[in-house]
Amino acid sequence: MSVSPWSFSRIKSFEQCPKKFYHLKVAKDYREPETEAMLYGTAVHLAAEEYVRDGKPLPEKYEYVKPVLDSLMRFDGEFLCEYEMGLTEDLEPCGFKADNVWYRGIADLVILNKEEKTAYVIDYKTSKNTRYADKGQLELMALATFKHFPDIEIVKGGLLFVVCEELVKDVYHKTDQAELWAKWLGDYKRMEKAFEANVWNPHQSGLCRRHCIVTECVHNGRN
């Protein structure tokens, strides 16, 4: 069993419930079904990527996204779509699939303005509201961006909710790195300890009975 490479989604899955994480990501004896919402999100991401990167027209059913994408495309800088970033355990940049990759992250859109030493990191969201927005994803993308583009001093991150046309944003400075990494490395260490001890304690929540697919869990109630 290996704790790495890890990602934002991997560590959040572990925090939500170590037992479910174990069955989905380690033992792989359960598989999360693809929901209609997940398929829709994937399709919107692809349409946005092709529109921004290739100038490909948006399918008619996704044209509602065009105004927010056009507003992004008015920014000055180099546009990188679905940009893959890897880091080694020493926090050095590496290839996404490198043998020594320790952390992986994919930014839906990075806009590099090297003259202003600023990067914009955008992640598209297809949720209907911002109620459960988690800016942790932006923090990790900012940290990876600072490593891959060392001349960048400011990262302006945004979770762009394309359905409700809202932007959850934050700003990260290069001088913030040590503090932010300390927090995420603490989260990583907790996951690492679970791997080392092979102990995966369940976290009970109101979602267990109705939504969790790990039916063998004592909190599931459907076994």
pLDDT score, position 34:
86
Query: What are the tens digits of pLDDT across the range 16-70?
Result: 999 999 999 999 999 988 889 899 999 999 999 999 999 999 999 999 999 999 9
What one-character-per-residue DSSP string does the chain give? ----SB-HHHHHHHHH-HHHHIIIIIS--S-PPPPHHHHHHHHHHHHHHHHHHH-PPPPGGGGGGHHHHHHHHTS-SEEEEEEEEEE-TTS-EE-TT-TT--EEEEEEEEEEETTTTEEEEEEEE--SSSTT--THHHHHHHHHHHHHSTT--EEEEEEEETTTTEEEEEEEEGGGHHHHHHHHHHHHHHHHHHHHHT-------TTHHHH---TTSTTT---
Say how far apart CA 146 and CA 192 lie, in whole Å.
Answer: 25
Average confidence score pLDDT of the chain: 93
pLDDT of residue 210 exceeding 80, the answer is: no
Angstrom distance (rounded) from CA 57 to CA 48: 9
The pLDDT > 70 percentage for the chain reads 98
Q: Which residue has the higher pLDDT, 211 or 38?
A: 38
**Mean pLDDT score, 79-100:** 97
This prediction has a pTM of: 0.92
Residue 220, pLDDT > 80, answer no
pLDDT of 18 reads 94
pLDDT tens string 156-208 = 999 999 988 899 999 999 999 999 999 999 999 999 999 999 999 998 887 77
pLDDT of residue 131: 86
Beta-ladder partners of 78: 112
